Amino acid sequence: MKQDMSYEAVMKRQNAIMKEALGIDYDAYERGGIIFDYEVMMDDVGLSIEEVIAIERDMGVGNTPLMDLKNITALSRKLSSPGHGARILVKDEAANPSGSFKARRAALSVWDAKRKGYEGVIAATSGNYGAAVASMAARLGLKCIVIQECFDSDFKGQPEILEKQRKCEALGAEVIQMTVGPELFYHALSLMEETGFYNASLYTPSAILGIETLGYEIAEQCREKYDLVPDVVLATHAGGGNLSGTARGLLKAGLKDTKVYAASVDLSGLSMASDRDFNRKSFTTGHTGFGIPFASLPDRSDVPRNAARALRYIDRYLLVKQGEVFYTTEMLASLEGIERGPAGNTSLAAAFALSRELPEHMTIVVQETEYTGAGKHPMPQLTFAQENGIEVRFGDPDEEVPGQSIVLPSHPSLIKLREYDMNRLRLSALRRMADGRREFSDEEMAYMASEINLSVQETKALIKSL
């Protein structure tokens, strides 16, 4: 009998398909009520941080430079009040084979697929991760399919996404391009079922373990090269894997007092699933459309339990504007001679603003950059924005309206910090976990406290305010 491949039937088989495509029984980590054993799930990958580092080194990944942005720091101090202007260092992840930190999560995912005997891997992504998976699959001799959401209903694609599609194909992947909508996940599930390939998801334990080396390297390089412990590590936040893995690596290196701040591009008011809004934004990742929902509901991902749980690790959540990120991209090129893709400079824009409020003896580490290419440069992206009716001008970035305008700062002093309310995020997460309940066991309360990075007493107080 032919298997039912309708949308509804495939989505009903989601958990069974995922189990086959990952070799992970997520039910084994459920502990009753709302609890699942996150740390045991992570430990069951069965690799120490030293073993992960060795695997990545063998695949040409990691050990990227940690660079001192002396000129950008000097500009921050020039614009700051006396004694302020924290030092800014940047981890140059563009030095990885595929040009971004995602090579780390891809290396472990593809290695895991190889050790479990899969013939190939499948990744659903806007592109950077797809390129990383394609790169690592080529290295280990596995087949690779990348499913990419890149067009609106008029088959108009952003230059950044089309650049990433070119990169995936150049690295040997078969790329399936799709229009925006819910079909992406359906097609990914259908292909996993049809091919028997491994689900190289962004959110598996292996993928997050691969990023832990990034935080670990930051700690080691700060000690060995600069003789310091960073006060703040700033990570661009979207689905949460970047921040979660980095924070876990810092903790494994013993940096318990280093603060981890999230940074996202403010795209409030735009729907990421909207055909109309799809090409009215200039950032396909690292923005609030992913960052906020993934922080408060991490298990909305393509696996039953997400190993990226950013709210466990975020100490502060900062927002920047699109125009500020484009401006910072040019600042990095003009002042430091380092040309990198705009999306990777989201956290650098936030770091520049943050530097001005911190004393100059403190150090901020921006934990990633990404490669640039023809479609990733600011000019084609800004031109594409104008073609889609977006006003592009210089002025005060606070005047920027997502989907209507991109305002580049007329002076670097206009790059500023905007806080996203962490209590609002935590309340949202608690509301979803509680699901209408008011009474919880001590174990459930401890689990919820871990999920939102507060004490049990603080968590109880928040639950009372729901």
Confidence of residue 238 (pLDDT cuts 50, 70, 90): very high
Burial grade of 460 (CB within 10 A; 0-12, 13-18, 19 or more): middle
12-38: per-residue pLDDT in tens?
888 888 889 999 999 999 999 999 999
- Give the pLDDT mean for 442-460: 96
Domain 7-23+100-205 matches domain 60-97+208-419 at the CATH topology level = yes
Mean pLDDT estimate for the chain: 94
DSSP string, 173-238: -EEEEEESSTHHHHHHHHHHHHH--EE--TTSHHHHHHHHHHHHHHHHHHHHHH----SEEEEE-S
Residue ranges in 227-345 assigned as alpha helix (H): 241-252, 288-296, 322-336
Q: CA 419 from chain center: how many Å?
A: 19
Confidence of residue 378 (pLDDT cuts 50, 70, 90): very high
Residue 67, token pair as written in the block: 């660079």
User: What pLDDT score was predicted for residue 76?
Assistant: 98
- Give the pLDDT mean for 64-87: 98
- Alpha-carbon Rg for the chain in angstroms: 21
Residue 150 pLDDT greater than 90, yes or no? no
| Rounded CA separation 297/8 (Å) | 23
98-119: per-residue pLDDT in tens?
999 999 999 999 999 999 999 9
Sheet holding 418-419, edge to edge: 66-68, 87-91, 363-366, 232-236, 259-265, 316-320, 418-419
User: What pLDDT score was predicted for residue 361?
Assistant: 98
Confidence of residue 72 (pLDDT cuts 50, 70, 90): very high
Burial grade of 82 (CB within 10 A; 0-12, 13-18, 19 or more): exposed
Least trusted range by pLDDT, from 138-142, 269-273, 310-314, 441-445? 269-273
CATH number of 7-23+100-205: 3.40.50.1100
Residue 126 pLDDT greater than 80, yes or no? no
Residue 1 pLDDT greater than 70, yes or no? no
298-329: per-residue pLDDT in tens?
998 888 899 999 999 999 999 999 999 999 99
| Rounded CA separation 68/74 (Å) | 11
Question: What architecture does CATH give domain 60-97+208-419?
Answer: 3-Layer(aba) Sandwich (3.40)
Residue ranges in 89-152 assigned as alpha helix (H): 102-115, 128-140
Question: Going by DSSP bridges, is the β-strand pair 316-320/418-419 parallel, antiparallel, or unpaired?
Answer: antiparallel
Confidence of residue 412 (pLDDT cuts 50, 70, 90): very high
Q: Could you tell me what percent of the chain has a pLDDT over 70?
A: 100
DSSP string, 354-407: HHTTSBTT-EEEE-------TTTSHHHHHHHHHHTT-EEEEE-GGG--TTTEEE
Confidence of residue 182 (pLDDT cuts 50, 70, 90): low
Question: Going by DSSP bridges, is the β-strand pair 198-199/143-151 parallel, antiparallel, or unpaired?
Answer: unpaired
Task: Specify the pTM.
Answer: 0.96
Residue 151 pLDDT greater than 70, yes or no? yes
Residue 404, token pair as written in the block: 């209507």
| Rounded CA separation 23/407 (Å) | 47
193-236: per-residue pLDDT in tens?
999 999 999 999 999 999 999 999 999 999 999 999 999 999 99
Domain ranges in the chain are 7-23+100-205, 60-97+208-419, 426-464
Residue 272 pLDDT greater than 90, yes or no? no
